[in-house]
Structure 1
Amino acid sequence: MTSKAGAVIAISALGLILAACSGGGAARKRDADGRVIPTLAEQDPASTLYAKSVGKAARGDCDEETFDVLTCFAYRGHGYEGAQMALGQCLIASGKQAEGAEWVRRAADSGWPDAQKLMAGLYFKGEGVGTDMVEAAKWAKLYSRNPSLLSLGVQPDLSFVQDFRGVMTSEQLSVADQRAESWVPSYWTPSSGIDRGIRRACSVEGRRPAPSASDIQTIPNPY
């Protein structure tokens, strides 16, 4: 295959991805630059469309519309970690475990409680990631001490902690503690050409900018 032919195929593939993220189905209104103009529901993260899609993902009900909606919200970056985790759940349910685990990790890295709990389970079972009991315990500890839950008086669901009993050595638990204590949040934003293209196709802007490295360093580690 010539380089020119390969480029044509790559561009065509990108076009299909962008079309899917743009909503598909009926024709959508576009601005002067050709970008899809989002509906009011798409602009409002608390809208019925957003909540419905996240709820469907939690139930494993991931149809094409749910994938499209979650993809566009997930690519908004920081502030939409719920959509990132939900997209990961849908991908895992559809058999794309590695890709799904990566989206769940992005949400977990930011401190999203449910994503941290799910990452613990993925590492424990080796789904989408290699089985790693230390990493599983690290994420379980981060979830159990998550300040977002504790500050609201919400008690973490620790029913899964019993899975770790008797299967880890004291040394492994110590390493997991060290990793949890040294953990700092990080926030994913689209960086590759394809990622930025999908975000532009969805015609969305981030809910709020991700904190800078210097900002993160000034925040005490609550773990």
Structure 2
Amino acid sequence: MIALSVIGLVLAACSSGGAARKRDSDGRIIPTLAEQDPTSTLYAKSVSQAAHGECDSEIMDVLTCFAYRGHGYEGAQMALGQCYIAKGQEAEGAEWVQRAANSGWPDAQKMMATLYLKGQGVDQDPVEGAKWAKLYTRNPSLLSLGVQPDVSIVQEFRGSLTSEQNAVADQRASSWVPSYWTPTSVIDRDVRRSCAVEGRHRVPSMPDIESVPNPY
């Protein structure tokens, strides 16, 4: 069996149609993740490690490449957000968690409730937090599996909302519809391309970032 390096595994996880296949030092094609690991162990392992606070650079690389694949990889988006928050990059972490929450990922919705309640990575907004708490406890994917949501998250908002604010949170939750994040910006596409071709994500340098004229 061909020995796979971490970079090879990340490449396999992030490869997309049309990308050149990576080869080892002997010129042999490195198997894709589907060929080498059909049970997606790398994906499950990296998400689990992040949930337990293991967020070294290799795990972050793997999670980033999975997260940039968009819909269907909300677990990686949630885990990547947790890692950024753990590293003190709360705004970026909250952004990734919200992407997963917007698609209906239950744990991400629960976490967004906490982030808005505490003002961690987002502007403090208990009404918005209560909306996410309600969405989490009513999440159909949990209910359809017979999984009981952690209702303590709703109880955290008791006493912090007026009846009018609670009604607003209810209205927001009732009108919510899922949305699925897709990489669209130049930087997003560059990261996704580097995952497919280089087998890792590349942090964009300043010249890669589009300059926006100051309108003032």
TM-score (norm 2): 0.76
Distance 1:124 1:50 in 2: 30
User: 1:51: Cα distance to partner?
Assistant: 0.9
Contact 1:92 1:99 in 2 (8 A): yes
Task: Name stretches of at least 5 consecutive residues in structure 1 with no aligned partner.
Answer: 1-22, 205-223
Q: Report the Cα offset of residue 139 of structure 1.
A: 0.1
Name 1:48's counterpart in structure 2: 41
The within-5 A match list for 1:4-43 is 35=20, 37=22, 39-41=31-33
> What is the match of residue 65 of structure 1?
58
Q: Deviations over 1:39-64 (max 9, x none)?
A: 53378684221111101111111011
Q: How many Å separate the matches in 1 of 2:78 and 2:21?
A: 24
Contact 2:19 2:196 in 1 (8 A): no
Match of 2:193 in 1: 200
Residue 104 of structure 1: which of 82, 97, 102 is its match?
97
Distance between the aligned counterparts of 2:38 and 2:171, measured in 1?
Answer: 36
Query: Which stretch shows the higher mean deviation, 138-147 or 37-46?
Result: 37-46
Which one is further off, 132-141 or 156-165? 156-165
In 1, distance between residues paired with 2:61 and 2:187? 16
Query: Aligned to 1:155, what secondary structure does the other structure show?
Result: coil
1:106-145 equivalences in 2 (<5 Å): 106-145=99-138
The match for 2:167 is 174
- Aligned CA RMSD, in angstroms, stands at 2.6
Q: Provide TM-score, normalisation by structure 1.
A: 0.74
- For structure 2, list consecutive stretches of 5 or more residues without a partner in the other structure: 1-5, 23-29, 198-216
Asked if the contact 1:41–1:48 (Cα under 8 Å) also holds between the matched residues in 2, the reply is no
Distance in 2 separating the partners of 1:45 and 1:125: 40
CA shift digits 1:125-170 (9 cap, x unpaired): 1100011000000000000000011011111111222211111100
**Matching residue of 1:187:** 180
What is the rounded CA distance, in whole Å, between the counterparts of 2:150 and 2:19 in structure 1? 46
Identity %: 69
* Structure 1 residue aligned with 2:79: 86
Aligned counterpart in structure 2 of residue 153 of structure 1, from 146, 159, 163: 146
Q: Secondary structure at the match of 1:203?
A: helix
Give the length in aligned residue pairs.
Answer: 180
